[in-house]
Structure 1
Amino acid sequence: MEIGESMVTKILIDTGSSVNVIFKDVLIQMEIDLRTSENDVQPLTGFDGDTVIMVGTIMLPVYVGGTMHCINFTIVDKSIVYNVILDMPWLHKMKTVASTYHQCCTVTKYEMVQK
């Protein structure tokens, strides 16, 4: 997936999450100036009850299936297996369908007509 001007791998789509998370180390590797982020220090609690303090927020363009949307990410200074965690509202905004069987997302290329 292209985020900003970088290709990013190891992305988790968490349908139970309410925030999009990007990790500070990933932003540094992407060579994004962290001074452009908004300082917003708040606790963030995961489903396991573990709480981390977010470093701030940053808006970045995300390109999927020929479309681009600016997405607000919460910045966390913690290392995990993933580089980015995307939430359910992201799926809706990008008009994607998550497949647990195929472990991927499909971008819809058509608009449904409502009667």
Structure 2
Amino acid sequence: MVDQGSSAEIMYPDLYKGLNLRPKDLTADDSPLVSFDGKVVILKGQITLLVQAGSEVVEVDFIVVDACSLYTTIVVRPWLHALGAVSSTLHQKVKYPSGGQIKEIVGNGPTEDAKCEDLEKFAIGDILEKFFQVGAQLPPQENEELVEFLKRNINVFAWNAYEAPGMDSSFIYHYLNVNPSVNPRKQPPRRSSKDHSDVVRDEMIKLK
């Protein structure tokens, strides 16, 4: 992924392991890093690698993070500047000068021709709100076996929030990324001005 708004090249664990790199290849890095959702990300360290784009080779300092992502790596402004490249998120391309020519790297994101698989609906009993959706391209025997399997295990599904009042913490749990030694502070309430409140009230009335 190319992110023009960031200044740190990021590498995720899947790519790091796929390159057969070892933990001892990392150098320590204690710089704070905040993810897209505002959370502080745990850094595993930093590593300098050569990245090839066509015939051009650029040295890139990657920060390796211990986090899951849809991407294997994120390259940003330092890589673009070193390559002399211009990127377009709209066209999913990066163009750069090389040997007196303009070359391009084309992304592999979704295109206009991308199409989702058609789904086939299977109702559960007489209640229309309860149903499964199975890929319509499955072979008939696999389709039948899958539907029968889902029906046999119907009791593990929750059809609304009230059917799942609790969850065993040994299976999954959520936690807050906070320092337990720091006392929490309540932020003072933010009160709108009268003019702003009147406008909001008028807009809400229009929605009724």
Match of 1:34 among 23, 45, 68: 23
1:82 paired residue number:
71
Identity among equivalent positions (%) equals 32
Would the aligned equivalents of 2:13 and 2:66 in 1 still touch at CA under 8 Å?
Answer: yes
Gaps of 5+ in 1: 1-11
Instruction: Report which of the two has the higher share of helix.
Output: 2
Distance 2:44 2:31 in 1: 8
1:54 aligns with 2:30: no
CA RMSD of aligned residues (A): 1.7
**Deviation, structure 1 residue 47:** 4.1
4+ long deviations beyond 2 Å: none
Match for residue 6 of structure 1? none
2:36 maps to 1:19: no
Aligned length: 100
Q: Which runs of 5+ in 2 are unaligned?
A: 102-208
Looking at CA atoms only, which structure, 1 or 2, has the larger radius of gyration? Answer: 2
TM-score by length of 2: 0.45
- Alignment partners' CA distance in 1, 2:15 and 2:87: 23
- Larger strand fraction of residues: 1
Deviations 1:54-85 (A, max 9, x none): 11000011001201111100000111100000
In the alignment, what sits opposite 2:58? 69
TM-score, normalising length: structure 1? 0.78
Note if contact 2:43-2:65 (Cα within 8 Å) is conserved in structure 1. Answer: yes
The CA deviation string for residues 9-37 of structure 1, in whole angstroms up to 9 with x for no partner, is: xxx11111110000122111111122111
Q: Does the residue aligned with 1:52 lie in a helix, a strand or coil?
A: coil
Q: How far apart are the structure 1 equivalents of 2:89 and 2:16?
A: 27
Aligned to 1:7: none
The structure, 1 or 2, with the larger RCO (C-alpha pairs under 8 Å, 6+ apart) is 1
